[in-house]
C-alpha cells in the first residue's frame, strides 16, 4: 500500500492527461500557453475568487502574495507554530519576522486566542503587526469566523495558506477564498496535485492581480517584457502542468473530494473508540490532505507505526517539530508555554494513508490492525 497512490489516479485519468501533454508538446507553447489561462479561469471560478495567478510552487505563492501586499523588513507576520515550514519561511525570506501562534488542540489549526495574545505582545514590544497567514492544515479551513474579526480589529492583512486546504469549505464558501489574498500548492501529494511543482495565488482585487502577474515575471510591465518596474521573482506554472491539472480539477470537483470524505468518515467511525480522530468543525468541510490522529503518547504512536509498518502500511509524522523549535529560528527566544498544543501534537500525531481511491477493504485492514493493539 502507498501513503498516497498517485498511479491509481493516473490510470483513471490517463487518456485525458496523455492527450493534454501531447497537445502541449505539439503546440510548443511550454511557457504560459493556453492551458495556463484556462486553468487560472477554472480555478478562480472553483474557489470563488475573481482572479487566479498560477506560479512555480506554493512557497513562491506565499512570497508573491506577501510582495503584492508590500510586506517586508520590520513587519511582523503571524503564522501557526505547527505547519509546514513554508508558511513561515516565505515571510522570513522577505526580511519580515514570523511570530508563531499556538494551535487549537482538536483541529490542528491556528488558535484565534493565541493569535490575539501574540498580537498584543508584539504591540507591547513596539513592533509592527502587519499580516497573518493561517494555514488550512490537513485540508480543513482555519477558523476564519474568529480569525478575520481579530485581523480587522488590529488592521492585519490576511493571507490564507490553502496549500493543503484546496477543496475544503465553510458553509459552502470554498478554501482559497478567505482573507485578502489566498494561495494553494499543486505539489503532487496535495488534494489537487500536478506532476512536479506548481502553485497559485487568488485575489478579488484587479490591481493585486496585475501586480502578481508582474511580480511572477521579474517585475515586468504588462506591455513590455524588458521594462522591469520593480524587483520580482521568476515563478510560473509550466503549460504541461496546467494541462495535467485540467482533467485532475474536473475529477476532483466531480467525485474525488466526495470520495476522500467517505474514506475519512470510514476511518473516523472505526478509530474513534480508541484514538483521538480529527475533528471537523460544524459546517466546515475538509479536503483531507492528511488524515491525522492523535495517539495517547509517543510510546503508543511508535507501537502503531511499527505494527502498520510490519504490514507494509506506511504512516507519516506531520510534523515532528514545531516552527519555534526549528534551527532556522534558533537566534530567537521562545517560551514553550506559548505553544503547548503545538508541542503536544508533534509528540502524538500520526498521519494514515488517505486518498480518494483508497479502497474500503484497505481502510478496514488498517483499522483492524490499529484496533487490535
Ligand X SMILES: Cc1ncc(COP(=O)(O)O)c(C=O)c1O
Contacts with ligand X by CB under 6 A lie at 57-59, 83-84, 86-87, 135, 161, 163-164, 185, 187, 197, 199
- The residue length of the chain stands at 373
81 Cβ neighbours under 8 A, 6+ residues apart: 100, 101, 102, 103, 322, 323, 324, 339, 342
Cα–Cα distance, 142 to 219 (Å, whole number): 32
Residue 192 · residue 164 · CB < 8 Å? no
**Rg of the chain's alpha carbons, rounded to an integer?**
21
Q: Could you tell me which of 201, 198, 217 has the C-alpha nearest to residue 209?
A: 201
Q: At what angle do helices 6-27 and 239-251 cross, to 10 degrees?
A: 140
Cα–Cα distance, 184 to 166 (Å, whole number): 7
DSSP 289-318: S-EEEE-SSHHHHHHHHHHHHHTT---B-S
- Shortest separation between residue 291's beta carbon and ligand X, angstroms: 15
- Shortest separation between residue 22's beta carbon and ligand X, angstroms: 26
Nearer to ligand X, 84 or 355 (CB): 84
Nearer to ligand X, 133 or 358 (CB): 133
- Shortest separation between residue 31's beta carbon and ligand X, angstroms: 19
CA distances from 318 to 242, 321, 341 (A): 28, 9, 14
- Shortest separation between residue 86's beta carbon and ligand X, angstroms: 4
Nearer to ligand X, 59 or 114 (CB): 59
The H helix count followed by the E strand count for the chain is 12, 12
Nearer to ligand X, 83 or 261 (CB): 83
**Three-class DSSP category at 371:** helix
Nearer to ligand X, 188 or 219 (CB): 188
In sequence order, what E strands does 12-108 have? 51-55, 75-80, 97-101
In sequence order, what E strands does 12-96 have? 51-55, 75-80
- Shortest separation between residue 367's beta carbon and ligand X, angstroms: 26
- Shortest separation between residue 293's beta carbon and ligand X, angstroms: 18
Nearer to ligand X, 163 or 370 (CB): 163
Type and span of the H or E element at 164: none
Cα–Cα distance, 206 to 214 (Å, whole number): 13
- Shortest separation between residue 72's beta carbon and ligand X, angstroms: 19
Nearer to ligand X, 112 or 139 (CB): 139
Nearer to ligand X, 142 or 261 (CB): 142
Nearer to ligand X, 78 or 187 (CB): 187
- Shortest separation between residue 197's beta carbon and ligand X, angstroms: 6
Residue nearest to ligand X (CB): 58
Residue 316 · residue 189 · CB < 8 Å? no
- Shortest separation between residue 158's beta carbon and ligand X, angstroms: 15
Amino acid at each position: 500500500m502507498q501513503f498516497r497512490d498517485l498511479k491509481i489516479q493516473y490510470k483513471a485519468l490517463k487518456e485525458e492527461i496523455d492527450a493534454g501533454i501531447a497537445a502541449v508538446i505539439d503546440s510548443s507553447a511550454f511557457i504560459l500557453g493556453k492551458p495556463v489561462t484556462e486553468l487560472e479561469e477554472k480555478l478562480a471560478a472553483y474557489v470563488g475568487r475573481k482572479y487566479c495567478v498560477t506560479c512555480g510552487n506554493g512557497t513562491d505563492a506565499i512570497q508573491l502574495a506577501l510582495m503584492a501586499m508590500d510586506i517586508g523588513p520590520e513587519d511582523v507576520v503571524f503564522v501557526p507554530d505547527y505547519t509546514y515550514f513554508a508558511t513561515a519561511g516565505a515571510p522570513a525570506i522577505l526580511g519580515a519576522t514570523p511570530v508563531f501562534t499556538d494551535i487549537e488542540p482538536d483541529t490542528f489549526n491556528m488558535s484565534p486566542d493565541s493569535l490575539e495574545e501574540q498580537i498584543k505582545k508584539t504591540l507591547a514590544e513596539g513592533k509592527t503587526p502587519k499580516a497573518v497567514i493561517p494555514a488550512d492544515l490537513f485540508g480543513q479551513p482555519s477558523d476564519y469566523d474568529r480569525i478575520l474579526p481579530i485581523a480587522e480589529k488590529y488592521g492585519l492583512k490576511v493571507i490564507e495558506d490553502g496549500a493543503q486546504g484546496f477543496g475544503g469549505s465553510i458553509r459552502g464558501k470554498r478554501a482559497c477564498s478567505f482573507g485578502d489574498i489566498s494561495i494553494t500548492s499543486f505539489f503532487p501529494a496535495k488534494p489537487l496535485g500536478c506532476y512536479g511543482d506548481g502553485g497559485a495565488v487568488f485575489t478579488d482585487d484587479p490591481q493585486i492581480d496585475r501586480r502578481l502577474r508582474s511580480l511572477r515575471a521579474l517585475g515586468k510591465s504588462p506591455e513590455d517584457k524588458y521594462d522591469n518596474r520593480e524587483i520580482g521573482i521568476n515563478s510560473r506554472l509550466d503549460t504541461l502542468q496546467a494541462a495535467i491539472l485540467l482533467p485532475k480539477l474536473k475529477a476532483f470537483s466531480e467525485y474525488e473530494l466526495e470520495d476522500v470524505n467517505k474514506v475519512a468518515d470510514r476511518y473516523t467511525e472505526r478509530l474513534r473508540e480508541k484514538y483521538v480522530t480529527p475533528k471537523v468543525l460544524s459546517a466546515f468541510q475538509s479536503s483531507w490532505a492528511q488524515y491525522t490522529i492523535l495517539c495517547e503518547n509517543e510510546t503508543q504512536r511508535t507501537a502503531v507505526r511499527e505494527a502498520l509498518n510490519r504490514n507494509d502500511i506506511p504512516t507519516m509524522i506531520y510534523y515532528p517539530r514545531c516552527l519555534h523549535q526549528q534551527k532556522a529560528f534558533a537566534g530567537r527566544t521562545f517560551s514553550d508555554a506559548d505553544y503547548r498544543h503545538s508541542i503536544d501534537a508533534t509528540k502524538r500525531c500520526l498521519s494514515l494513508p488517505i486518498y480518494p481511491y483508497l479502497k474500503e477493504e484497505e481502510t478496514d485492514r488498517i483499522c483492524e490492525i490499529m484496533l487490535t493493539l
